């Protein structure tokens, strides 16, 4: 690849933070809790699938997933953060609404509460051409 084959273009991005609140439990008794780790894993997989469909350049990037700090304990909360990007504001707004619905629906399906916050984020995408 030649460095002259790189171009930059702005994209419309928003950062998000999701806090999933469930019920902690001992790992040997997961049925006594509401597992924020399992729910968060399903949400991350769904976000990846959502962005790979729809025919537009959009996605979720720079994800972080934090939950618990102890062995054999299912924590009561998990935090997921990342950046949602799209080619323009209209596509980003539609994807943001779809993402909010997806997160809320999955959290409710697993019996957890979801607190989702959005924040504008400045970014530029680098495009490599062959």
Is 8 inside a domain boundary? no
Q: Which helix (H) or strand (E) holds 60?
A: strand 58-66
Domain for residue 5, yes or no?
Answer: no
| Per-residue confidence (pLDDT) for residue 6, from 0 to 100 | 37
> Which ranges in 19-67 belong to alpha helices (H)?
36-51
Q: Is residue 1 part of a domain?
A: no
Cβ–Cβ under 8 Å, residues 49 and 59: no
Domain hosting residue 45, numbered range = 15-124
Quick: pLDDT tens for 107-125: 999 999 999 999 987 655 5
Number of domains in the chain: 1
Per-residue CA distances from 42 to 30, 51, 97, 102 (Å): 17, 14, 18, 10
Q: Residue 50: give its domain's CATH number.
A: 3.30.70.360
| pTM confidence score | 0.81
| Dihedral sign of CA atoms 85, 88, 91, 92 in order | positive
* pLDDT for res 122: 67
């Amino acid at each position: 690849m030649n460095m002259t084959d790189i171009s930059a273009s702005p994209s419309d991005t928003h950062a998000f933070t999701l806090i999933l609140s469930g019920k902690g439990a001992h790992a040997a008794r997961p049925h006594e809790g509401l597992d924020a780790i399992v729910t968060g894993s399903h949400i991350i997989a769904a976000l990846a699938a959502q962005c790979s469909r729809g025919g537009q350049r959009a996605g979720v990037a720079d994800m972080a997933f934090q939950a618990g700090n102890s062995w054999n304990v299912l924590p009561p909360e998990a935090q997921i953060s990342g950046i949602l990007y799209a080619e323009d504001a209209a596509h980003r707004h539609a994807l943001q609404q779809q993402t909010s619905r997806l997160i809320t629906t999955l959290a409710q399906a697993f019996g957890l509460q979801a607190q989702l916050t959005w924040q504008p984020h400045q970014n530029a995408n680098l495009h490599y051409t062959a």
